[in-house]
Amino acid sequence: MVAEGTVRDGGGDGPVKAAAIDCGTNSIRLLIADADPATGALKDLDRRMEIVRLGQGVDRTGRLAPDALARTLEACRRYAGAVEAHGVTPDRIRFAATSATRDAENRADFVAGVRDILGTEPEVITGMEEAALSFTGATRELTGAGTALVVDIGGGSTEFVLGNREVSAARSVNIGCVRLTERHALADPPTAGQIAAMTADIDAALDEAGRSVALAGADTLVGLAGSVTTVAGIALELPAYDPAAIHHSRIPAATVRAVSDRLLTASHAERAAIPVMHPGRTDVIGAGALILARIMARTGAAEVVVSEHDILDGLLWSAVERAS
């Protein structure tokens, strides 16, 4: 359990030190930062990500696999060490779990494990909460974006959030890079039939999302999470993954389609050799890229603005607000 430390009291002026952990279907991420509510400035102290594949098999079994749970809790232990080193107290940590944990029958085992390790109660947030937090994280620093449609492509679900400073509509649907890869047992590379089946699933989910959120007509399409940032890194032909180069890059729709086609026709070895590719995304990136391409086709967006800031940043701001 994280020990008590010393940080500035939330009631005074200046930045507040807080931590956020986002545990998704594919990855678990940590952000420790000094956040200044008065200026909106966020200074990263530690930002990291590990691929733990918590959602392994959940779509098929409805349960968290024992080895997936063990991998995730071990990552939590490493994150607890970082949180303690920065002196963040448990009341200034917000831990949110998303699609895989929402769907799992044995999620209580996960909740208890996180509580024991970090000393804070993990929140198995709803898709709507996830969407609102993603919107805050992605748009807080954007100026002149007008009405923004934020799409957060995760491992198990994709969130659609529409708003202009405040959220006006949101919907979470069960398509994600891990879920689609497992559901369709993709070959290496996927067959034409498997790609067609994935496309049909994505389009049906877009129909579902469109009943709650207007998917066309937003001034800006903002894309979040690892599938989107990886596609951007490939499109930019980066020699290595570079968050500063990727953040707020603008990738045309035709380029997204080309990258998607390339990934879906490449072998595992060819995808693994791409300089920006994280090893944990190699087998699921094709599905993630296809989701983004289909979203852009449905929305008619000419380009996607890629954000490295997402639900994790929204979580941290919410932790600061709770502590103040």
Res 6: pLDDT: 31
Res 109: pLDDT: 92
pTM of the model: 0.77
List 291's β-bridge partners, or say none: none
Res 203: pLDDT: 97
Give CA separation, 114 vs 21, 78, 107, 181, in Å.
Answer: 11, 12, 11, 27
Q: Which residues contact 16 (CB under 8 A, 6 or more apart)?
A: 7, 8, 10, 34, 35, 36, 37, 92, 320, 323, 324
Alpha helices in 40-126 (DSSP H): 58-61, 66-85, 99-103, 107-118
Q: Say whether 4 sits in a helix, a strand or coil.
A: coil
Note whether 30 and 20 are within 8 A (CB): yes
Tell whether omega for the bond before 90 is within 30 degrees of 0, i.e. cis. Answer: no
Given a cut of 50, the residues of the chain with pLDDT beneath it are 1-11
Pairing type for strands 158-164 and 148-153 reads: antiparallel
Using the 8-state DSSP alphabet, how is residue 158 labeled? E
Res 271: pLDDT: 96
Q: How many residues are present in the chain?
A: 324
Res 9: pLDDT: 41
Res 1: pLDDT: 46
Which runs of E-coded beta strand occur in 225-291?
250-252
Q: Any idea which residue has 């959940």 for tokens? A: 58
Res 79: pLDDT: 98
